[in-house]
Structure 1
Amino acid sequence: MTIELEKHYNKFCEDKRLTRRHGQVEYITSMKYIHEYLKDMPNAKILDVGAGTGRYSVQLANEGFDVTAIELVRYNLGILKSKKSTVKAIQGTALDLSRFTDNTFDMTLVFGPMYHLYKHEDKVKALREAKRVTKVGGTILVAYIMNEYSVITHGFKGDNIKECLESGKLTKDFHVVSEPEDLYDYVRIEDINKLDEEVGLQRIKLIAADGPANYMRSVLNGMDEETFNLFIQYHLTTCERPELLGASSHTLDILRKE
């Protein structure tokens, strides 16, 4: 799995994804909620687990926060370090944060790992580690890729639906079945709920991080700046609406350590 991820991210630029218009929606939304839970905490210590190339951690460090970043992929880590920020960047995995003592960070971001951990027990382990290193009363933000986005885009839009059903990549009720070679795992809200319950974390909010943005990339790219800003306003107004959550490409689970 690690080797396949290295190959994938050696070719895929996460920085560019989050600066394209559909990625900007996810980034702007996530940063809005990060700031909401960091208000009145100018000296907050933040851990960014699966930090990628540092899109979030570098920005937060530039804002004056004490940020530590963990990233598995050496290529991504190299880009992060090349940005010459104050981020303390370390190679490591979400499954083992033993270098950190309990109750160290005010906020922990887990924005990449759940995309690539396809076993339920590994997701639980990563979430437990994030909980352990977060202070009591602290906030944990966890990103997921949603099942229906994959079925609609890869399955139906990409005309792979019959093959996926026949090969067992989809269950009879259209839930994606991921294996290590697939790199990405896709969940439904009930899957996220089960993880939170098992780990013993209290949800504050579950939001649609990018809503319909990934379905309408070409439309967003064709918008003038004023219209795109209106779309951002619309999305930020509706991203907590429960009827939109499961269809979003990404969701952001905002949790508190009691």
Structure 2
Amino acid sequence: MLTEVTRYYQRGGETRRLDAGSGRWEFLRTWDLLARLLPPGPLAVLDVGGATGVYAGPLAAAGHAVHVVDPLPEHVAAASALPGVTAAVGDARRLDEPDASRHVVLLFGPLYHLIDRADRIAAWREAGRVVRPGGLVLAATISRYASLLDGFAKGHLDDPVFAGMVEGALATGVHRNPDAVPNWFTTAYFHRPDELPVEVAEAGLELERIAAVEGPLWMMARLPEILADEQRTAQALAMMRELEGVRELWGAGSHLLTVARRPA
């Protein structure tokens, strides 16, 4: 893993990132999608790039056998301390896991930190190798336009360095934080929606669906207020279920969730 990316996560931002605001909305929407997409359990789940176990913990609590693989020892230590979760240091491109050994493989972190397309395909293929025939691979990716929208929402585009980062990401998909500014996201690859079906097919998997995770709501200034109210949160979740498959909105979100299946 790139040293800059390692330093970014060693600062501990991933530990609390999903606790409030747009991060909390990302978690709620991702969990809502998981609840609807996963087959009846208990399941053997491999959480690749699972960080501190933010999804592994709830999945284990729901009765699934969850193993986290992450490149950072700090993340592995935190995840393995969760009840029912095991964890090990590893690389998404070369998984130390038996063929066809899991019902579900999650790729919620790796694909947007693999700048080279060949590495992303390798991660897809490894997930396809490890999952059982007919099993699911669920992958999160960041939208090509996320830094542009975030830059306007948070005022980062007033900084010419950030504006240059956005221009680079829009042109090539590669987002680079040249000075490792702490409150800006680290080096990453931002997908266009039309790249995902091609990557899935090249890895030998079958595309089932693509869903918007946060949708446009992640940019709303009132989002924390909505999430603080149980009834409004339920309304937002219900409405996003109706909109998650609308292609015209995919580019306006921060993340997409791609659902693929290993051929039976």
Q: How many Å separate the matches in 2 of 1:204 and 1:227?
A: 30
TM-score by length of 1: 0.88
TM-score by length of 2: 0.86
> In the comparison of the two structures, how many residue pairs are matched?
253
Return the offset for 1:215.
1.2
Alpha carbons of 1:170 and 1:222: their partners in 2 closer, same or farther (altered >3 Å)?
Answer: same
Q: Which residue of 2 aligns with 1:205?
A: 209
Q: Compare 245-254 and 1-10 and name the one that shifted more.
A: 1-10
Q: Which residue of 2 aligns with 1:30?
A: 30
Return the offset for 1:169.
4.9
Query: One-letter code of the match for 1:251?
Result: L
Q: Which residue of 2 aligns with 1:158?
A: 156
Q: How many Å separate the matches in 1 of 2:4 and 2:163?
A: 24
Q: How many Å separate the matches in 1 of 2:89 and 2:151?
A: 32
Q: Which residue of 1 aligns with 2:6?
A: 6
Q: Which residue of 2 aligns with 1:133?
A: 130
- Are the equivalent residues in 2 in contact too, given 1:211–1:249 (CA < 8 A)? yes
Q: How many Å separate the matches in 1 of 2:29 and 2:38?
A: 14
1:148 maps to 2:145: yes
Return the offset for 1:180.
8.8
SS of the counterpart of 2:78?
helix
Q: Which residue of 1 aligns with 2:21?
A: 21
SS of the counterpart of 2:194?
helix
Query: One-letter code of the match for 1:257?
Result: R
Percent identity of the aligned residues? 25
Alpha carbons of 1:134 and 1:39: their partners in 2 closer, same or farther (altered >3 Å)?
Answer: closer
Query: One-letter code of the match for 1:35?
Result: A
Alpha carbons of 1:166 and 1:138: their partners in 2 closer, same or farther (altered >3 Å)?
Answer: closer
Return the offset for 1:179.
5.3
Query: One-letter code of the match for 2:203?
Result: V
SS of the counterpart of 2:36?
helix
Q: How many Å separate the matches in 1 of 2:200 and 2:159?
A: 30
SS of the counterpart of 2:151?
helix
- Are the equivalent residues in 1 in contact too, given 2:77–2:87 (CA < 8 A)? no
Alpha carbons of 1:164 and 1:74: their partners in 2 closer, same or farther (altered >3 Å)?
Answer: same
Q: Which residue of 1 aligns with 2:116?
A: 119
- Are the equivalent residues in 1 in contact too, given 2:46–2:106 (CA < 8 A)? yes
Query: One-letter code of the match for 2:117?
Result: H
Return the offset for 1:61.
0.9
Q: How many Å separate the matches in 2 of 1:253 and 1:68?
A: 21
Q: Flag structure 1 segments of 5+ consecutive residues without an equivalent.
A: none
- Are the equivalent residues in 1 in contact too, given 2:206–2:262 (CA < 8 A)? yes
Q: Which residue of 2 aligns with 1:227?
A: 232
Return the offset for 1:168.
9.5
Give me the CA root mean square deviation. Answer: 2.4
Q: How many Å separate the matches in 1 of 2:141 and 2:213?
A: 9
Q: How many Å separate the matches in 2 of 1:43 and 1:119?
A: 35
SS of the counterpart of 2:157?
coil
* Runs (4+) off by over 4 Å: 160-169, 179-182
Query: One-letter code of the match for 1:69?
Result: V
- Are the equivalent residues in 2 in contact too, given 1:164–1:170 (CA < 8 A)? no
Return the offset for 1:21.
3.4
Q: How many Å separate the matches in 1 of 2:9 and 2:158?
A: 24
Corresponding residue to 1:243 among 243, 248, 261 = 248
Q: Flag structure 2 segments of 5+ consecutive residues without an equivalent.
A: 179-185
